[in-house]
Amino acid sequence: MAQTIREDRPILWGVHDMMAQETGRPYGRGLHEMGLSPRDILVVRTRDLQTLLAVGEEALRCLAVGAVVLSAWGEAKAFSMTASRRLALAAETGGGTLFLARAAAAPCPSAAESRWSVASSASVPLEGGAPGRPSFSVTLLRRRGGGQTGTSILEWDREQRSFQPPPPLSGGLVPLAGQRPTAATGGERRYAA
């Protein structure tokens, strides 16, 4: 989403140190495969969440920044309604878009336009049993102004650089095997007729 919103303006990615330790840091080749140029992303590491929020707020006020991604780990009082309102006002001032990703934390009230929950999902294997595309369960929890919420399963299509719904299952049923053994007593096998 960030690559379509940035309008040829750079992206600031603020990473909380605890998040980087638990999940890793942005990876240049991975960003490139998602359609983002690592040259257009400024990564800022912070030790605490208050600094992360301050970095995000200042970046959002800057007209040169197209999007701000803040990656945080865990529960914290710093993520108050006041802090989210300050971020929303800064985004309105600068015209940038904010993506706040919180891991190991429960959803909480915020001034965000929408609130999502994203989790991994089982992928559909490719031919020959090869691992399938990365798959995610995406749930819209809240949207300002109302609207329908719900869950969708999406797969990342690396060639198209977009999320796609998984292909539908074939719908075919596996036939039951004839002459299938049932519970045997002793050393003797019994077969269904």
> Which tens digit of pLDDT belongs to each residue from 131-165?
999 999 999 999 998 888 999 999 999 889 999 99
Query: Regarding predicted confidence, which is higher, 183 or 26?
Result: 26
Q: What is the pLDDT of residues 84-107, one digit of tens each?
A: 999 999 999 999 999 999 999 998
Task: Check residue 181 and give its pLDDT.
Answer: 55
Q: What is the pLDDT of residue 147?
A: 83
DSSP state, residue 38: G
- What pTM was estimated for this model as a whole? 0.80
Does 121 score more than 70 pLDDT? yes
Question: What is the signed CA dihedral for 147, 149, 155, 157, rounded to 10 degrees?
Answer: 10
Closest residue by Cα to residue 35 from 12, 6, 15, 59: 6
Please tell me the predicted confidence (pLDDT) of residue 179: 59
Total Cβ atoms within 10 A of residue 117: 12
For the chain, percent of residues with pLDDT exceeding 70: 83
**What pLDDT, on a 0 to 100 scale, did the predictor assign at position 172?**
59
Q: Give how far Cα 109 sits from Cα of 69, 81, 85, 142, Å.
A: 19, 6, 11, 10
168 — pLDDT class (breaks 50, 70, 90): confident
> What is the reported pLDDT for 98?
96
Identify the band that residue 35 occupies on the pLDDT scale cut at 50, 70 and 90: confident
Q: What pLDDT does residue 85 have?
A: 97
Per DSSP, 36 falls in state -
Close Cβ partners of 126 (under 8 Å, ≥ 6 residues apart):
132, 133
